Amino acid sequence: MKIAVAGTGYVGLVAGVCFAEKGHNVICIDIDEKKVELMKNGISPIYEEGLEELMKKNYKEGRLDFTTDYKNAYKDADAIFIGVGTPEMSDGSANLEYIATVSRQIAENVEKDCLVVVKSTVPIGTNDKVEQFIKDSLVHNVKIEVASNPEFLAQGQAVKDTLEAKRIVIGTKTKYAEDILREIYKPFNLPIVAVNRRSAEMIKYASNDFLALKISYMNDIANLCELVEANIEDVAKGMSYDPRIGSNFLNAGIGYGGSCFPKDTKALKYLANKNGYKLKTVEATIDVNEEQKIKLFKKAKDRMITFRNLKIAVLGLTFKPGTDDLREAPSLSNISELLKAGANKIYAYDPVGIDNYKKIYPTEINYVDSPERAIEDANICFIFTEWKEIKEIKPETFKKLMKTPLVYDGRNIFSLEEMKNNGIEYYSVGR
């Protein structure tokens, strides 16, 4: 099937590459000519394990292409997937300007019957509006229908989550649209959940917000564990054996980040308020997460007289391992607080996130190429991301290299006993 994909971010590019991998002819559209040229040359604009390899393979084999020419890309496509961003507005609502722009371009250029599929995360009811907007703006006499097909990928394992998804959710208004989507996903051989469009939109928000809620709940319990001298890891282990709870998303730490959970919790809160309803669990999730992000900074501030002229090591900048995404990363909140508190000798390490971080802090931070260089002669070390390279540091290395072995671990990487035995003053979460 001939598929056009609007947007080459995490949603659009991963979807397009995976559709091509399953045998469809795919063209990905982006407005950035330099970005398109990079992708044609086999360079992925985002870091995702396995993505660049599949991108090169399918481009070379002729099933995948990239263009800025949306007019030709849309005019004869069998299906057009919209995977552009829906960034958060100041009031928590989703900005649908990119969706509207693509919808208008589709309406003005499509020349054959076509299914338009919204893959971006959008507020409930958006698919209805997109369909009406396109029909109102159509130039040619063609049949257009809009379907919802939300993504459920986790950054860092997006390709695997797409090719081996637990389920494909499709939201349609007619059997015609459902049949086309079933045909597109037939080569994936995955379970399909077919519902109406508004239910599909809600499934996406409800799923993400539930996972965010689990994280905030465990962080809340972890904070109480510290006060009553319980260990959150032991508590999580005991909980995990209950099949009603499961073992995923039970790790305590310094909160969630990324492009989905923060934005989607705020968007659902906004939607509820707009409809005169208060989602108390979601609001609590947001509040706990905001406080949790700088929990360890506050502990360090209570411990220190000043941060000025102290060497501060920061290990991990991205919001999670396996991605170069910095959106809502806890490191951003903490480094901002450190700078405001007078820190002027911050040395940061991250295996893939430094280039993106330099766009935010080009001169305020010293970037290094190894964890050891970051912690050498450091007075304090903060750990914000559990990268493999950071987890592999031996406890004795902190003692050997740091001027004062003082470690604030936001991801509970190291053993309390081992750090104590190595003479390290060690603070973690809920332990």
The pLDDT tens digits of the residues spanning 393-417 come to 999 999 999 999 999 999 999 999 9
Do 170 and 254 fall within a single domain? no
Q: pLDDT tens digit string along 243-274? A: 999 999 999 999 999 888 999 999 999 999 99
Do 107 and 165 fall within a single domain? yes
Residue 264: the pLDDT is: 95
381 catalytic? Reply is: no
The domain total for the chain is 3
Give CA–CA dist 377/310, Å, rounded: 10
pTM score above 0.75: yes
Do 317 and 178 fall within a single domain? no
Last residue of some domain: 128, 162, 195?
A: 195
Give CA–CA dist 44/238, Å, rounded: 41
Rounded to 10 degrees, the C-alpha dihedral 51/212/169/275 comes to -130
- Residue-range definition of the domain harbouring residue 252: 203-291
Give CA–CA dist 235/131, Å, rounded: 48
Last residue of some domain: 178, 195, 212?
A: 195
Last residue of some domain: 165, 195, 225?
A: 195
Do 344 and 398 fall within a single domain? yes
pLDDT band at 218 (very low <50, low <70, confident <90, very high): very high
Question: Quick one: tokens of 95?
Answer: 């900005």
Write the CATH number for 213: 1.10.1040.10
Do 71 and 209 fall within a single domain? no
Catalytic residue among 18, 114, 260, 381: 260
pLDDT band at 155 (very low <50, low <70, confident <90, very high): confident
Do 161 and 17 fall within a single domain? yes
Do 43 and 114 fall within a single domain? yes
Do 351 and 276 fall within a single domain? no
Write the CATH number for 74: 3.40.50.720
Beta strands in 242-342 (DSSP E): 312-315
Do 169 and 23 fall within a single domain? yes
Do 125 and 27 fall within a single domain? yes
Do 154 and 65 fall within a single domain? yes
Closest CA to 247 of 237, 258, 235, 261: 237
Average pLDDT, the chain: 96
Do 303 and 390 fall within a single domain? yes
Residue 259: the pLDDT is: 81
* Cβ atoms of 102 and 82 closer than 8 Å: yes
